[in-house]
Amino acid sequence: MELKSSAFKAYDIRGKFPEEVNEELAYRIGRVFPTLFNAKRVAVGHDIRLSGPDIQKALELGLTEMGCEVVDIGQCGTEMIYFATAHLGLDGGIMITASHNPKEYNGLKLVRKEARPISGDTGLKDIEAKVMAGDLGTPAEVPAKVIEVDIMKDYIDHLLTYVDMSALKPLKIVVNSGNGAAGPAIDELEKRLPFNFVKVNNNPDGTFPNGVPNPLLMENREATAKVVREEKADLGVAFDGDFDRCFIFDENGDMIEGYYIVGFLAKAFLNKNPGAKIIYDPRLTWNTIELVEEAGGVPVMCKSGHAFIKDCMRKEDAVYGGEMSAHNYFKDFSFCDSGMITWLLVAELLCQAEGKMSEMLKERMERYPISGEINSTVADAKAVMAAIEEKYGSTGEVCKMDGFSVDYPEWRFNVRISNTEPVVRLNVETRGDKKLLEEKTAEVLAVIRG
């Protein structure tokens, strides 16, 4: 079976099955992983994609041939691999998932001890080199075993430590699992929580009968929003395929941008952890910085991308980190991202506030209106970045931590290149001026699109 290096991305391995991601690739990864990371015991699981079990079998064969015991946690979400790796004290974890990608895709996300991410800067390129060269090491004299472990109860117990159960009220919550991996975890949480769940597309189904589980797509949002409105629910929650991200809808069915959730959760964490550090990414910043400083915390900017955020959180010993892309990271969850912890904390805050979800964030959204991320496919992304820098580089406060950001007194923007495609991503925000937001967004887009 032919192998293609195109499956190796900046943070994970991902591509079409079986052209780019297949059993041979998984087997080889299983062979090289134990040697590169001195791994004796590794957690393995898969999401609901139809190719997942076959890829897992091949991966497990490679691992066990090298004398590495496999802890098989079965069908799960990515954050359950993170949890199992840390909770069971394992040497690594491998999740078979393509997250929010279409059904013909699959992939692998890898972590080492303590659920530390393995990305391009921390070993993924080494894996790629050995896999592509067929440098698979020498098998152990005695193959290791595969043991099946049900991690669900311990995982649910851990999730519930993040909320004050006595503060929770019988909210009506619409939960859309997108026929992804979130359904079983929601079913278990339902037994322990006072919420009235209205479940949409809750059954895991790798054929994705209701579309790819990517709530960011405009055409997918209405599936959650419609039920929120019809049920007169207090809150809506929609997950991507492997549920490491969740997307929040208010009682009107309006999806709340992940940017505002970062500041919302940061403030809540600082109420419990005075003076703590909070990590945020450079794409949108003003709302988060203001809320963190007002709450007595320390805002720390970090390059976007889960590997960078997790590393930065460890270095800074930050209690919480958030990206506008709806990835939220928690110190007590091995500094990893979790969609389940995110919505639980939002629900807790809603119970404590005794108001409506839209009211809780309305003032912040008006104070710092945003363009939303605007993607432009371009012929030459580097040339576009050069043109942006030439026009704006000497006119405001420049930051090149992640792409190109410029701050002015009343507005700011960030432009960055996609890691995986010829796309330039733009984010703009202003200080309460929606007209200025429209003008400046159009102005920068004109430079990007020529």
Just list the catalytic residues. 99
Structure tokens at 446: 């004109």
Nearest to 97 by CA among 191, 197, 160, 15: 15
Neighbours of 203 (CB within 10 A): 12
Cis peptide before 143 (omega within 30 of 0): no
DSSP string, 106-169: EEEEEEEGGG-B--TTTTHHHHHHHHHHT---PPPSS---EEE---HHHHHHHHGGGS-GGG--
What residues contact 195, with CB distance under 8 A and at least 6 apart? 168, 170, 171, 172, 173, 347
Nearest to 360 by CA among 215, 254, 218, 222: 254
What residues contact 390, with CB distance under 8 A and at least 6 apart? none
Structure tokens at 164: 């004050």
What residues contact 162, with CB distance under 8 A and at least 6 apart? 330, 332, 341, 344, 345, 348
Nearest to 324 by CA among 389, 372, 267, 273: 372
Structure tokens at 225: 């929003």
The CA distance from 264 to 251, in Å, is 17
The CA distance from 154 to 134, in Å, is 38
Residue with tokens 């993040």: 162
The C-alpha angle with vertex 274 and arms to 327 and 163, in degrees rounded to 5, equals 55
Amino acid letter, residue 187: D
**What is the rounded end-to-end Cα distance, in angstroms, of the chain?**
43
CA distances to 320, 406, 432 from 257, in Å: 18, 21, 16
> Which helix (H) or strand (E) segment is 69 a member of?
strand 69-75
Task: Judge whether 97 and 12 are in contact, CB under 8 Å.
Answer: no
Residue with tokens 């410029």: 406
